[in-house]
Amino acid sequence: MLNRFLHLLLPALVLSPSAATAQTLKVMTFNVRYASDEGPQAWPLRRPVMIALLKQARPDLIGTQELLQRQGDDLVRALPGYRWFGRDRRGEHKDEHMGVIYRPDRLRLVRQGDFWLSETPDVVGSSSWGTDLPRMATWAVFETLDKPTSGKQRKRFVFVDTHLAHRDQDDDARDRAVATILARLPKLAAGLPVIVAGDMNARPETAAYKRFAKALTDARTAATQVRGPENTFHDFTGNPDRRIDYLFVRGFKVGTLETGTFHLGTTYPSDHFPVTAAVSFR
């Protein structure tokens, strides 16, 4: 019944540069909730709903959190206009990834890498400040592939995707993690525009959020139009109770920002809502 509903509801996804305004990108951050084969939120039940969401939203670039390799592979197999990359938090492909999914018809991957949110960021799998799990960031330099118009050149920018420590007692670790990310940006960006996406596990009143907001711009506060709820974590209920998922930018104008609440019946693709922003270069 679900497959028939999806067939009737959603047309096939056609990916073409003309579908988006030149020099404008649709960027999403999405904690996809790691795959499990058991319970009412099993990945085989959520997978078609997540695919339907992405077909509807059609982002150019997605920073995911908690992505397992099988999930990334499932998504790009179902959506052949996308690719993904990234290592997991232990430097392999057995654990959760800060996987980056993108449209190669709109973006060229120039270079990519990762680092860990610790006192030794270049040590794979390292952790500090009392966190119970390694935390990391995946980064990339992208170049737009839109045909330049009116003398404009193709643009490059830096994208950073992260997932900060989750426990209540990790406030200091989250703040130090943000400091680590910001300390890396000058070398990674070298003056390029920046987008940072992630599940920060930090509400707007926290030190971690304030450190980000001092150095970058919260896309929600800069958006010309905002749609959907402010809060993003809903624990599969559809009723979010906290805002912890963000897009921060520098060197971009933000058009519409939307917190998506897509679901089919009682099935949600994740326990977080995705946040999507239309951004254009200044």
**Does the predicted TM-score (pTM) go above 0.85?**
yes
> What pLDDT does residue 23 have?
80
Looking at every residue in the chain, the average pLDDT score rounds to: 93
- pLDDT, residue 21, reads 52
pLDDT in tens, 230-268: 999 999 999 999 999 999 999 999 999 999 999 999 999
Quote the tokens at residue 2: 């679900």
Q: Which of 164, 111, 158, 119 lies closest to 137 in space, CA to CA? A: 164
* Cα distance between residue 204 and residue 213, in whole Å: 9
Question: Which tens digits make up the pLDDT trace of 141-163?
Answer: 999 997 765 556 789 999 999 99
> What are the chain's domains?
2-6+24-281 (3.60.10.10)
Tell how far CA 71 is from the center of its chain: 14
Overall average pLDDT of the 182-187 stretch = 98
Q: What is the pLDDT of residues 91-123, one digit of tens each?
A: 999 999 999 999 999 999 999 999 999 999 999
| Section 186-208 average pLDDT | 97
Q: Which of 83, 76, 92, 78 is nearest to 140 (CA)?
A: 83
Polymer length in residues for the chain:
282
Mean pLDDT value across residues 71-92: 98
Q: What is the pLDDT of residues 16-34, one digit of tens each?
A: 443 445 589 999 999 999 9
